[in-house]
Structure 1
Amino acid sequence: MVEVAGRVGVMGDGDFGGLADGELAAYVDAERLGCGPSVRELGVVEVRRRQAVRVAGRVAGPGLAEVRDVEVGRRSVSGVALGGLPGVDVVAGDASLGASAGGGASGDVVAGGVVSVRGRLYRPTLDAVPLVVYVHGGMWSIGGLESHDRLCRRLAVAARVAVLAVDYRLAPEHPWPAGIDDAVAAFRWAAEHAGELCGAVGVPAIAGDSSGGHLAALVCLRMRDEGGPMPAAQFLAFPNTDLTLSRPSTREKATGWGLTTDAVAWGVENLVPDPVRRADPGVSPLFAADLAGLPPAVVVTAEHDPLRDEGDEYADRLRGAGVRVRHRCELGMVHGFLTMELVSPAADAAGGRFFADVADFLFG
């Protein structure tokens, strides 16, 4: 292990241009040489289509004891919870649901102005285990149950927890606060139904990567301010916390490391078209005046990521508010490493450390 200025990671042998291993360096070099149109130039429909093609060609994740799709948070568009209907489309045994789509408009608006939020439950065992509600990344504009199916399976197996993935509504069709409202409704529903879903006792934890980490952090703030139920823990991987994009790493790591700052800005514009609102604490958790009373947190960032500094600063502010925090910045790593395990052994190991953190906080 290497620790430099509070940043921790595992570095391989040799010089890989500051990256953690040769495979990751080759991937980043290919991205730099072959960069085509930006997401801004492509537009959301084409970006989603391309993600769906990539997801369809991805190696399936590990088989689990049970995988089933659920309706996790029926509610009116005014935010009044209407309950949920667990247990549809059950796939039991060594299941492997097809990854046929990488994203799209999530959450169905049905008759009477009711929002139906889809989810998918992953159980590594039919025994009772803790439940983690998972909110996917994708710049609030792409992604869904299929894009993160393999990741959720890996998390369930590695941490030995049940995972409930949430398919919240996406921007720009559904700008703020639709996605966070869906995530809050889904978490409340999961807390009410955890025993039915996986035999869990107590309140679930919440987790997310990138923009999903942003929504997970906001769920914790909303639960604190609205009287609970409070998540058992929050697990945030390279999260957005400052939608003004004003931290130094958004300039220092703006291009050349996979995710670009302009791509993040595109997602922010889709989610929150009004620039004035982006510094609102209900939009950017880093701007919350008080972070006391929030759940224990794991915050993991990546050295070569435009979002690095806002994640690091959020971890520091949580700790300063008296929250139990485990914070790690992965040296030589880039944004999105949780879904890069087939690209780079170092990314696979970094993901493994994140999964171990989940297990340690929930079982330790």
Structure 2
Amino acid sequence: MTLTPQAEAHLAAAAGAGARPVHELTVGEARMASLGYLDLQRPAPGVHSVTDTFIPGPTADLPIRIYRTTTAPDLPAVLMLHGSGWVIGTIDLADEPARQLALDTGYVVITVNYQKAPEHPFPQPLDDCAAAFTWMRDHAADLGIDRDRIAVVGDSAGGNLAAALCLRLRDQGVDGPAAQALLYPALAPDFTTASHRKYDEGTGLSSADMRWFWSHYLHGQLNDPDPHAAPLTARSLTGLPPAYIAAVEHDVLHDDATAYARRLADAGTSVELEEYPGMIHGFYWMDAVLDDSRQLQRRLAAWLTRTLAAAL
């Protein structure tokens, strides 16, 4: 399928505004440019409460944001890991989709501003996400959540961290999330896939951009990455929680998503793979300009509701 008219119009507008590709930017420039996502989002909807606080991390206190739509106790919860290429992005950029996820599910949603590469390369972002998940389980009673019904959701690099978190906790023999949702995840520094070749130009995210992100995250060591950095390279995907995976057609990372879904299914994990034809990378954060973004938000919420209800 060709790009949807809305996606095509968005890419044309970005090109007309002279937007430079990420791989041509400095880290500081890329971080400033990422603020443009705020212009692609609807006004943030109101929720019952939003609480900003800090939790202890392995090397620093970590900012977190807690979203509630009700004061009811023992609710399922979602740890939402924002996309970032492990380099850019903050919980502020994920504020609107986090609010919407809380409203769509009725669950407690928590975001964490994990530390970013290149100042904090692998494994620090993953360490921070693991610390946030452990904190949620340890403080479940205080948070009013069910410690056995915590899902992890991540988009792009956040999808990488969500998948890696499930792998790490499995490998440690520790109870992990009850469910994982991976939205167009980056799962291996392999730039030779069919989707990398087919969608390398004109889709908003190129192979050169992904190489830039991966190089910062892995400190330039792209060969033979640790499976917890590149989950698609893990020898075994057995014993992992049920998964929802969103694959985007016009995305260099499309094949990461579909390959991981196949491997999870082959390992006996329940997987729901949904393809989003005509869409581009990052569209989960673009509900002001792409109607398909809202469709993804609803489908994600419906899957989480079914899956965590079954975990009772």
Asked if the contact 2:42–2:287 (Cα under 8 Å) also holds between the matched residues in 1, the reply is: no
Of 249, 257, 281, the residue aligned with 1:335 is: 281
Of 187, 190, 208, the residue aligned with 1:262 is: 208
Q: Which has the higher contact order (CA 8 A, sep 6+)?
A: 2
Q: What is the alpha-carbon distance in structure 2 between the residues aligned to residue 138 and residue 70 of structure 1?
A: 21
Query: Are residue 30 (structure 1) and residue 46 (structure 2) matched?
Result: no
Query: Are residue 352 (structure 1) and residue 298 (structure 2) matched?
Result: yes
Asked if the contact 2:40–2:286 (Cα under 8 Å) also holds between the matched residues in 1, the reply is: no
> Which residues of 2 match residues 282-321 of structure 1 at below 5 A?
282-321=228-267
Q: Tell me the equivalent position of 2:71.
A: 126
Q: Which residue identity is paired with 2:47? A: L
Give the root-mean-square deviation of aligned CA atoms.
1.9
Q: Which residue identity is paired with 2:46? A: G
TM-score normalised by length of structure 1: 0.80
Q: Tell me the equivalent position of 1:43.
A: 26
Q: Which residue identity is paired with 1:133? A: L
TM-score normalised by length of structure 2: 0.93
Structure possessing the higher radius of gyration over alpha carbons: 1
Q: What is the alpha-carbon distance in structure 1 between the residues aligned to residue 300 and residue 148 of structure 2?
A: 22
Q: How many residues align?
A: 309
Residue 355 of structure 1 deviates from its aligned partner by 2.3
Residue 35 of structure 1 deviates from its aligned partner by 4.5
Q: What is the alpha-carbon distance in structure 2 between the residues aligned to residue 132 and residue 122 of structure 1?
A: 10
Q: Which residue identity is paired with 1:67? A: V
Q: What is the alpha-carbon distance in structure 1 between the residues aligned to residue 35 and residue 190 of structure 2?
A: 29
Q: Which residue identity is paired with 1:206? A: V
Q: Tell me the equivalent position of 1:72.
A: 55
Asked if the contact 2:57–2:128 (Cα under 8 Å) also holds between the matched residues in 1, the reply is: no
The C-alpha deviation readout for 1:183-212, integer Å capped at 9, x for no partner, is 111111111112211332524111100000
Q: Which residue identity is paired with 2:251? A: D
The C-alpha deviation readout for 1:120-169, integer Å capped at 9, x for no partner, is 11111111320111111011111111010001001111122111101100
Residue 333 of structure 1 deviates from its aligned partner by 1.3
Q: Tell me the equivalent position of 1:152.
A: 98
Asked if the contact 1:337–1:348 (Cα under 8 Å) also holds between the matched residues in 2, the reply is: no
Q: Which residue identity is paired with 1:253? A: Y
The C-alpha deviation readout for 1:263-321, integer Å capped at 9, x for no partner, is 11111111112335553312210010000000111111111110000110001000000
The runs of at least 4 consecutive aligned structure 1 residues that moved more than 6 Å come to none
Q: Tell me the equivalent position of 2:123.
A: 177
Query: Are residue 229 (structure 1) and residue 229 (structure 2) matched?
Result: no
Of 273, 285, 292, the residue aligned with 2:219 is: 273
Q: What is the alpha-carbon distance in structure 2 between the residues aligned to residue 58 and residue 351 of structure 1?
A: 13
3-state DSSP of counterpart to 2:84: coil
Q: What is the alpha-carbon distance in structure 2 between the residues aligned to residue 236 and residue 299 of structure 1?
A: 5
Residue 56 of structure 1 deviates from its aligned partner by 7.6
Q: What is the alpha-carbon distance in structure 2 between the residues aligned to residue 316 and residue 54 of structure 1?
A: 31
Richer in helix (by share): 2
> Which residues of 2 match residues 53-92 of structure 1 at below 5 A?
55=38, 59-75=42-58, 77=59
Residue 44 of structure 1 deviates from its aligned partner by 1.1
Q: Which residue identity is paired with 1:329? A: E
Q: Tell me the equivalent position of 1:117.
A: 62
What fraction of aligned residue pairs are identical, expressed as a percent? Answer: 34
Instruction: Mark the runs of 5 or more structure 1 residues left unpaired by the alignment.
Output: 1-16, 78-114
Q: Tell me the equivalent position of 1:209.
A: 155
Of 186, 190, 197, the residue aligned with 2:136 is: 190
Residue 181 of structure 1 deviates from its aligned partner by 0.8
Asked if the contact 2:187–2:232 (Cα under 8 Å) also holds between the matched residues in 1, the reply is: yes
Asked if the contact 1:220–1:231 (Cα under 8 Å) also holds between the matched residues in 2, the reply is: yes
Q: What is the alpha-carbon distance in structure 1 between the residues aligned to residue 224 and residue 158 of structure 2?
A: 17
Asked if the contact 1:131–1:200 (Cα under 8 Å) also holds between the matched residues in 2, the reply is: yes
Q: Which residue identity is paired with 2:186? A: N
Query: Are residue 18 (structure 1) and residue 2 (structure 2) matched?
Result: yes
